[in-house]
Amino acid sequence: MRAMVMPMAVLLIAGCAPRDAACLAPEASARGEGMRWVPAGRYLLGGPALRGEEGPERLVALPGFWIGRTEVTNAQFARFVAATGYRTLAERAPDPRAYPGVPAARLLPSSLVFVGLGEGGPWRIVPGADWRHPEGPGSSLAGRANLPVVHIGHEDARAYARWAGGDLPSEDEWEVAARGGLSRQRYSWGGAPPGGEGGAAPRANLWQGAFPIEDKGGDGYRARLAPVGCFAPNGYGLYDMAGNVWEWTRSPVPPAMRGGADRGAHLIKGGSYLCADNYCYRYRPAARSAGPADGGASHIGFRIVRRSRPQVPVSSGERRRLVARAP
């Protein structure tokens, strides 16, 4: 994706960062910060194909696992960077060997940014755009601590997950978690429409209207990210498994849907705030898309999993019996 890097006017948007309050209080426990347990079981995934890369329905068996109740936020990612000094793909100049024929002067640290309607389409490769500067130079994280971190490549998400003692979810793990215990339902909350229009309560941060012409903002976030956890959780207590940002998985893009995608590309799931029914409609658990192999974008984030078994509390009576048996 970053092979498209080209000279362009810098987007000067200082002062335009939304100052969104947190929708959730921080949570920490012995299980790890903000994790939820998904039980082992046999699960029906997939379903009738509403897009060419989807389906068929399949039965999978999975062990239990922990998964983040929200997407990783800017505040969480900042702690990782402070502890490790990590620099994301967007903060590094692209490797010239990956872009033969592209002049070195054009291989700048950059990332893909949604800029809305305008000449050249709604997307731009913006030099200087990265997780700290989501729209490019002049933008910042002021007021955005609780928004999901974006401009994170698959490599970056894996680095964070390892530091946090976890991993990225597989596609199957992600879809099982997104369904929240439901089976054969179109959405992570069931079969009802996502709301946000006609007075119906919104269930996710999506695009209401014709993309990219107008987002009517019925969900409260017009053409922009929401802080994590602003909409009702699914049956497993997980927030934003539909919309807000696409989420990385550890699963490679299958050859059948690879098309022009690089061999190193991985699947992303969940859709984003840019998903409209006329354009994307991939905020359903069964939907999938190929993430960029060489970076991130302003609508891609992630959450992590841990695959250790849960600690079952021991009752006082059982503790006495264990002590009595000890040599």
Instruction: For 67-101, write each residue's pLDDT tens digit.
Output: 999 999 999 999 999 999 999 999 999 989 888 88
Output the CA angle 164-166-169, nearest 5 degrees: 135
Q: Give the span between the Cα atoms of 156 and 164, in whole angstroms.
A: 12
Is the pLDDT at 141 greater than 70, yes or no? yes
**Pick the residue with more confidence: 277 or 130?**
130
Whole-number percent of the chain with pLDDT over 70: 83
pLDDT, tens digit, 9 for 90 and up, residues 204-258: 999 999 999 999 999 999 999 999 999 999 999 999 999 999 999 999 998 878 6
- Are the CB atoms for 306 and 64 separated by under 8 Å? no
User: 19 falls in which pLDDT band (50, 70, 90)?
Assistant: low
Handedness of CA 245, 250, 251, 253 (dihedral sign): positive
CB 306 within 8 A of CB 166: yes
pLDDT at residue 117 in the model? 84
DSSP output for 189-205: TBSS---SSTTPPP-SB
For residue 230, give Cα distances in angstroms to 7, 110, 119.
Answer: 37, 29, 33
Whether 295 and 262 have beta carbons less than 8 Å apart is answered as no
Q: Is the pLDDT of residue 29 over 70?
A: no
Give residue 326's pLDDT band: very low, low, confident or very high (50, 70, 90): very low
Q: Is the pLDDT of residue 195 over 90?
A: no
**Number of alpha carbons in the 13 Å side-chain half-sphere of residue 188:** 29
State the Cα angle at 311 between 308 and 313, rounded to 5°. Answer: 170
* pLDDT number for residue 4: 43
pLDDT for the residue 309: 63
Residue 116 corresponds to which tokens in the numbers above?
């809305």
Q: What confidence category does residue 305 fall into, taking pLDDT thresholds of 50, 70 and 90?
A: very high
* pLDDT for the residue numbered 163: 97
Work out the mean pLDDT of the chain and round it to a whole number: 85
How far apart are alpha carbons 133 and 242 in whole angstroms?
24
The one-letter code for the residue type at 115 is V
User: Are residues 223 and 206 in contact, defined by beta-carbon separation less than 8 angstroms?
Assistant: no
Q: Is the pLDDT of residue 30 over 50?
A: no
pLDDT at residue 321, rounded to an integer: 45
State how beta strands 123-127 and 110-114 pair: antiparallel
- What element of type H or E holds 255? helix 255-258
Which pLDDT does position 190 carry in this prediction? 93
Q: Is 48 exposed, middle or buried (0-12, 13-18, 19+ CB in 10 A)?
A: exposed
pLDDT for residue 283 is more than 80: yes
Q: 18 versus 74: which is more confidently predicted?
A: 74
Closest CA relative to residue 241, chosen from 202, 272, 197 = 272
Nearest Cα residue to 115 out of 9, 268, 243, 271: 9
pTM for this entry: 0.86
How high is the pLDDT of residue 200? 76
Residue among 44, 30, 31, 36 nearest 236 (CA): 36
Task: Give Dmax (Cα) for the chain.
Answer: 78
Q: Is the pLDDT at 1 greater than 80, yes or no?
A: no
Flag whether pLDDT at 325 surpasses 80: no
- The answer to whether the beta carbons of residues 113 and 123 sit under 8 Å apart is yes
